[in-house]
Amino acid sequence: MKMNRKTFIKKSAGAALITLPLYGLVSCNNDDSANGDPNADPDSTDCLNNGANATAISSNHGHTLVVAKADIDAGVEKSYAIQGSSGHNHTIVLSSTNFETLKSEKTLKVESSRDSSHRHDVTVSCA
């Protein structure tokens, strides 16, 4: 049977309405892990000597973050890509205030950019 333009558009729109929400459910799960060690002893970490990383990323699906010790020492606002093994990227921005927090060996939480119809909360801790 030959498909006309109207039928094609209806079927394509219907498929998109089903596929897009399903993609959102599959791509974002409830894994909040990250590349850092969430069990690391906060008393033995040192941002100025070891840098920092993400110890948690909400609904993570492969994103990672590593902050170099030189960046923490410089303390100048910087943007980081957190794509990791995910099929898409997000960015976070660490401000000079955030770097002061890390220099004080404290953990902080920042929000990622909204990409692929979602965002993440990123917990950054000293390594």
Residue 91 CA to residue 125 CA, distance in Å, equals 17
Helices (H) then strands (E): counts for the chain = 4, 6
Cβ neighbours of 10 (radius 10 Å): 12
Q: pLDDT grade, residue 5 (50/70/90)?
A: confident
Are residues 55 and 127 in contact, defined by beta-carbon separation less than 8 angstroms? no
pLDDT digits (tens, 9 = 90+) for 26-51: 444 455 555 555 555 556 689 889 99
Largest CA distance in the chain: 71
Q: Is the pTM of this model over 0.75?
A: no
Q: Per-residue pLDDT for 15 more than 90?
A: no
